[in-house]
Amino acid sequence: MKVRISRRRFITVVPLSVLGTAVLAACGASATPTTAPAATKAPAVATTAPAAATTAPAAATTAPAATATKAPAQASGQKASLTVWLSTSYTKDADNMQMANVKAWGEQNKVDITIVMDSSTVLGPQLSAALESKKLPDVLSLWDPALAPQMHRAGVLLDVSDIVKTISSLGGGIYDRAITAVTIDGKQWGVPNQMSTEIFYVRKDLVAAKNLKVPETWEDVIAVAKAINNPPTIWGYGEQLGTASYDAEVSLTSQLASYGASPFAEDGKTINIDNDGTRAVLKLIKEGWDAGAMPKDSLTWDDSGNNKAYQTGTAAMIYNTGSVLAYLQQNDKDLLGKTAFIPIPAGPKGHVVAGYVYGYGITNLTKFSDEAKALVTALMQLDTYQKYIVAAGSNFLPIYKDLASMDLFKDPNTHVIIDSLKNTVALGYPGPTTEAALDVWKQHTMTQMVDAVLTGNKSPDEAIKLVVPMIQKSYDQFNK
């Protein structure tokens, strides 16, 4: 097996493992553990996997029979080979285990495996070039929610409904949201392998010092942020506000949805941003901004911005995945004890969290589709998959319903994360996950609207009028 780790990944990962206390990047990325499991200790993914049931609930009406976890026998003298692209998560234990699992399957099934593992920032441009040249990997991580729709439109993805049908019999079944995220025209074009949601992190010691309670609503957040604000030592609320951050777009989309506002309505067509809910959110964020309770450099933060702010003690509240919790558990027990881990605050429409679904894709240019399907199916077998989720700490959320009761999620802090899945919706909510909805997200449209109010001297009405044509353009682009 060949493994290529780019120089960029070496620079990113090695210093973190050496320094130990380095601040971890990315909302969807947890702390890098100081000790990673050796690749030789990874569980075997093929020989111990249970046989896939043939009675799994159908993921699509045309789904074929259950998929095997072992590579088929090849004709004499012919040996199968697969190129596998894996995106890093900055959760080093999980990354190492995933690589080891792929390697183990290849060795057990006598399939030559070439692994390319790197960050999505590096793999993204490489995938664009590969699409142009039609020299695609056989299997790849779907590191971006927009990848499956985009690659399906390009006609390069293999229908993997049979794999989804097979694994749907495992672990109490798969969450509907995970299947919906990879479904186009009734078929699955990706195999979901993890989900994300968000929780709220609050410095409960600072809140208690002001005789206040942790916030329950978005109005509470701004009130508490102003009360505990003490710049330049610490800011009340480290909200992601920059167009360099997709986390900003997700958090703002979630907040807007809790007020009944969204780029598109339930039909996925009607623009639903010009309403009183949007105006209320814009006024509330502006109130916190004008009070100086949000750091001004949050406009330039990338996806690691609020992680770093909370972990270094310069923000008293943030909105993030379980990555910060994992970091605190491993690296800062003092700050862990000062932190309240609570659900995302509610708006008038309740708690709403926009979350991601990630997975695996298989390209239809592969010469070894049976082997590619067998590999992915093996990676999703329950014993192997559960160990992978444990290795990721609280950073990855399982797609199998029964795994919500794992010991990992019995801790009160991590239980908040898994419990938040009930309030988590896919991009495009309250409508379907469409290419138009994903394009609005990719263009940072909601963040541009908020920033127009904060720094562009626009009123809420003017900011709304600014982005309505942008949303319409995204819709028109995919609905000609």
pLDDT in tens, 51-107: 333 333 333 333 334 577 877 766 556 789 999 999 998 688 999 999 999 999 999
Q: How far apart are CA 159 and CA 140, in angstroms?
A: 14
Low-confidence ranges of the chain (pLDDT < 70): 1-66, 73-77, 90
Q: Which of 72, 52, 76 lies closest to 64 in space, CA to CA?
A: 52
Please report where in the chains the tokens 């990944």 appear, as a residue: 9
**Predicted local confidence at residue 145, as pLDDT:** 87
DSSP state of 75: P
316, two tokens: 């008293």
Domains in the chain: ranges and CATH: 2-196+356-409 (3.40.190.10), 199-353+432-477 (3.40.190.10)
- Classify 154 as helix, strand or coil: coil
Element (H, E) at 373: helix 369-379
Which is it for strands 271-272 and 191-195: parallel, antiparallel or unpaired? unpaired
Say what the pLDDT of residue 38 is. Answer: 32
Q: Which of 204, 239, 222, 172 is nearest to 401 (CA)?
A: 172
pTM confidence score: 0.76
Question: What pLDDT is stored for residue 39 in this prediction?
Answer: 31
Structure tokens at 138: 């056989």
